[in-house]
Amino acid sequence: MRMSIWVLLALAAVSTVSACGGTGGGNGPDSVTVYSADGLGQWYRARFAEFTQKTGISVNLVEAGSAEVVSRVAKEKANPQADLLVTLPPFIQKAADSGLLADAGVDFSVIAENNRDKDGRYVAIVDNYLTFIAHPLAALKDARWDDFLDPRLKGKVQYSTPGQAGDGTAMLVLLQHLMGDQDALDYLGKLQHNNVGPSSSTGKLQPKVSNAELWVANGDVQMNLASIRDDHSNFSVFIPATGDGRRATISLPYAAGITDGAPHVGNARNLLGYLLSVPVQQTVSRDALGMPVRADVKPESGPGTPAKVLEGVDIWHPDWDRVVATLDASLSAYQNATGS
């Protein structure tokens, strides 16, 4: 049977997972293991400590790229180690479609329909959006997509690889939405003249932009704002405009689901319910620098917040199930267009 392109890309990178997080596989009944796409580490540490204090359940965390964590769950399917999987679209949908997720058994009714699975297998825990970062040397003001094609940026632009990274996949999907399929491929083909090369992790691009090895890279609002706050990164966060001046981005939430055959399913449900609770969601804007997923929790505003970055920006919520249905073809066309 032919493996889909996204699986092949992910398996090529999966050997790096164990180096990107904590220990895998909880020991004993009072533990739960989380495999998560990277970016929420500091928020996790605080919330997991509170959860352990309240319940006595310890949390083991493994962080890696969006596709990598799904691939590890797939490789361990015969002997599951993870209890809770957290990743970005379209990888959470792929995990569900591949039978890697079970019915969560948690009430999702307070979460908007576009942020939860209709079959109850996964739900967003932190809303997030595709962004870009630029070093001051890039001198980008009111940046547009075509600015990335400027010859002065040759060897100074890099974006995470579609099919391997959630942010890179989201970039491809957004460009298809804004430009149409063929024009998006033509654009990315032109961008290859400036692009450094593939990257399986979006997070690894941030320090490169901060130290001016790169001038421009893709990212997401949560990860980028957290890097500025926690690492004092030297870059700005922005959303480029199309030729008509319209700025638009794509919703890219961290979504969580309980793994099929989870060794500590009860603890996983307990943790997922806790992450969706009002007190925890009230910390999302301030501590995680994402957007809360509950309609009854309002995001914080002001400088350095996601709400500020998103001012005047159109937010697109794609039908990720439709994206998944055409993803293999999109990735194949992307590889042909870019020669990657």
Nearest 5°: CA angle at 232, between 216 and 303? Answer: 85
Task: Provide the residue-wise pLDDT of the chain in tens; the chain has 340 residues.
Answer: 333 444 444 444 443 343 333 433 446 899 999 999 988 999 999 999 999 999 999 999 999 888 899 999 999 999 999 999 999 999 999 999 999 999 999 999 999 999 999 999 999 999 999 999 999 999 998 999 999 999 999 999 999 999 888 899 999 999 999 999 999 999 999 999 999 999 988 889 999 999 999 999 999 999 999 999 999 999 999 999 999 999 999 999 999 999 999 999 999 999 999 999 999 999 999 999 999 999 999 999 999 999 999 999 999 999 999 999 999 999 999 999 999 8
Which superfamily does 130-251+320-338 belong to? Answer: Periplasmic binding protein-like II (3.40.190.10)
Rg of the chain taking only CA atoms, in angstroms: 19
Best CA proximity match to 11, nearest among 71, 93, 85, 79: 71
| DSSP-derived secondary structure letter, 286 | I
Kindly tell me the number of DSSP H helices and DSSP E strands found in the chain.
12, 11
Q: Could you tell me which residues are beta bridge partners of residue 61?
A: 34
Residue spans in the chain of domains classed CATH 3.40.190.10: 5-128+253-302, 130-251+320-338
Name the CATH topology of 5-128+253-302: D-Maltodextrin-Binding Protein; domain 2 (3.40.190)
pTM of the model: 0.84
Looking up tokens 């890179």 gives 168
List, in order, residues 6 or more apart from 162 with CB less than 8 Å away.
168, 169, 171, 172, 330, 331, 334
